[in-house]
Amino acid sequence: MTDFRPGDGIHLSAPELIALKPRCNALSLPMHRPAASSLAGAYRSRFRGRGVDFVESRNYLPGDDIRNMDWRVTARTGKAHTKIFQEERERPVLVVVDASSSLYFGTRTRLKSVAAGHLAAAISWAAVRRGDRIGAFMFAPGGHRELRPAGGRRGAMRVIQGLVEWLNPGPAVEGQVALSVALERVRHTVRPGSLVLIISDFFNLDDQCHRHLSRLRQHNDVIGCQIMDPAEQHLPAGRFPITDGNHSAMLDTHMSQSRRDFEQMSEQHGELPRRMFQRHKCGWVLLSTTDDPVEVLGRELRILLGRVA
């Protein structure tokens, strides 16, 4: 596995995220349809939102698509008007990053929050390499931060700086943000035709997630990216000191029944979000804190590209 520098596995730094750039040049983010011609831009949208920019309204002419009617201008002027659109030349890519307290956990190599930052940075470099615009939506108890998609190195560096500021450990904030709250905000802010990648450990799923994910998926491509630590899947037998930063305790896992119960609970936690995303025809990526995020992302994206080819 490739070592990351100069991070310590606990804190994110801009240099270690910038150092990922050369390794991300070969990553290909999924797209479903190429443009019809070299003049149409990088992508042609398959969504009802069209993934296009509004230019102006003009008088309706015979043969115009009635779905593009500008009803507000028509009502105001008393004459039929239609909207004129221009195809986007760059697709927006949005990384949605969960910074809940459960992300600040790790037993090997790095915290889940650091793994999430590496994954988001790799996605950012892959996006700008392919001419897309990259943005971010980061949320945690107490607030959220939105970085609108921008192109080129400037866009990637804005996201990297946001990750460093947002994902580094700080004073604990009580409570948890339901994932559905973030999905609803993303759904109302993201532009149709975007690629949305949701990075989380998904401990904050709730009943409303299905509805918001379904609506988000109607006009966008969506990939769920789950971050897990090996200890969340299998517990060795022993006595282990644990802490949340404020309180300490001793965890005794000598009882085999306790370990089996834990592993069953862990399996259910892994299956629930995966099934939800697959039910809504979204992509899925699983990343362990011991994995190389660039290698995992490259492998999983090749699988996704093969499915939509």
**Interior angle at CA 27, CA 295 and CA 298, nearest 5:** 30
| Pairwise pLDDT comparison (293 vs 240), residue with the higher score | 293
Average pLDDT of span 62-89: 81
CA 96 to chain centre: 4
- The pLDDT score that the predictor gives to residue 49 is 41
Helix, strand or coil for residue 82?
strand
Can you list the domains of the chain with their CATH numbers? Answer: 14-30+90-308 (3.40.50.410), 52-87 (no CATH)
- The pLDDT score that the predictor gives to residue 171 is 63
Q: Answer for the pair 198, 224: CB distance below 8 angstroms, yes or no.
A: yes
State pLDDT tens for residues 80-111: 998 876 555 578 999 999 999 889 988 889 99
Helix (H) or strand (E) holding 240: strand 239-243
Q: Answer for the pair 175, 119: CB distance below 8 angstroms, yes or no.
A: no
pLDDT > 60? residue 32: no
Sheet containing 221-228, strands listed edge to edge, beginning at the edge strand earlier in sequence: 143-151, 133-140, 92-98, 195-200, 221-228, 283-288
Query: What amino acid occupies position 96?
Result: V
pTM (two decimals): 0.77
Q: Mean pLDDT: which of 63-67, 138-142, 150-154, 256-260 is highest?
A: 150-154
| Pairwise pLDDT comparison (63 vs 271), residue with the higher score | 271
Choose the weakest-confidence range: 56-70, 192-206, 258-272: 258-272
- The pLDDT score that the predictor gives to residue 38 is 31
Average pLDDT of span 137-141: 92
| 199, β-bridge pairs | 97, 225
Average pLDDT of span 130-157: 93
State pLDDT tens for residues 252-280: 777 777 677 777 777 777 799 999 999 99
